[in-house]
């Protein structure tokens, strides 16, 4: 399979290495310094684009691929206010777009565990919900996309919680879930969901040991999405 990498930072490099180790060909490595090279790409030779760039570049990169009928696997966070535009563009061009805030299989199991725990806690108002996420200092957006996905899962399951806020401390507003973001090197990613009461605390934690789990997941999705159409997600990929 021929893959073009839209974004060639640390994640892009690991994705490229894993893709090549699985027998695929990287036919383009695009970043902010050589974006003009997209004009030289022979579109017919590209099977899939994997997009891990920056919040500022994501929309432009993804749109470039979709408008040319190239399936896109995107993992960039911090731009999701524009995601409905991309979904509309995908349908307009009969292309394929796959987005996940985190491609780690373990994290996606954690998402399901989070939803299940939230469903158990929805009738336990004495427990105040909060979240903490820790990433390396090069991560630009806060909270992380993974933290936002976790928060959205809790909000869906717990009617008393209406929104989330980025805060350095536990929010006293019972309707708001507090998210604390820390940037500490070399942490690749830790997410903690806490239910705290005067009697006891309940916590679930996911800790990534490296970026390889995220990168491998993106390559597996790229292998799966080839020749598919529409707006797709981890639910379809993992058949949750």
Q: Would you name the residues annotated as active-site residues?
A: 135, 139
Grouping H, G, I as helix, E, B as strand and the rest as coil, residue 120 is helix
Q: How far apart are CA 158 and CA 228, in angstroms?
A: 35
Contacts of 10 (CB under 8 A, 6+ apart): 138, 211
Distance separating alpha carbons of residues 75 and 228, to the nearest angstrom: 18
DSSP 80: G
The residue among 109, 77, 81 whose CA lies nearest residue 11 is 77
With tokens 């996309």, the residue in question is 145
Tokens of 108: 């996606």
Contact yes or no for 6/65 (Cβ under 8 A)? yes
Q: What is the distance between the alpha carbons of residues 92 and 102, in angstroms, rounded to a whole number?
A: 26
Instruction: Note whether 232 and 225 are within 8 A (CB).
Output: yes
């Amino acid at each position: 399979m021929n893959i073009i990498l839209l974004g060639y930072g640390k994640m892009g490099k690991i994705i490229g290495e894993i893709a090549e180790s699985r027998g695929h060909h990287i036919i383009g490595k695009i970043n902010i310094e050589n974006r003009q090279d997209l004009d030289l790409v022979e579109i017919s030779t590209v099977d899939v684009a994997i997009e891990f760039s920056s919040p500022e570049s994501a929309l432009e990169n993804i749109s470039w691929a979709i408008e040319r009928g190239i399936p896109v696997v995107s993992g960039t966070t911090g731009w999701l206010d524009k995601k409905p535009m991309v979904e509309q563009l995908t349908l307009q061009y009969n292309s394929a777009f796959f987005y996940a805030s985190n491609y780690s299989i373990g994290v996606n199991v954690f998402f399901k565990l989070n939803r299940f725990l939230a469903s158990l806690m929805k009738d336990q108002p004495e427990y105040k919900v909060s979240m903490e996420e820790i990433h390396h200092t090069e991560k630009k957006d806060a909270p992380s996309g993974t933290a936002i996905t976790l928060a959205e899962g809790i909000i869906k399951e717990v009617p008393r919680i209406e929104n989330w806020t980025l805060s350095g401390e536990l929010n006293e507003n019972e309707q708001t879930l507090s998210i604390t973001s820390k940037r500490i090197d070399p942490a690749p990613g830790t997410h903690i969901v806490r239910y705290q009461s005067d009697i006891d605390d309940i916590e679930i934690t996911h800790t990534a040991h490296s970026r390889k789990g995220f990168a491998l997941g993106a390559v597996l999705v790229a292998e799966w999405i080839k020749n598919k159409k529409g707006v797709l997600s981890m639910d379809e990929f993992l058949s949750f």
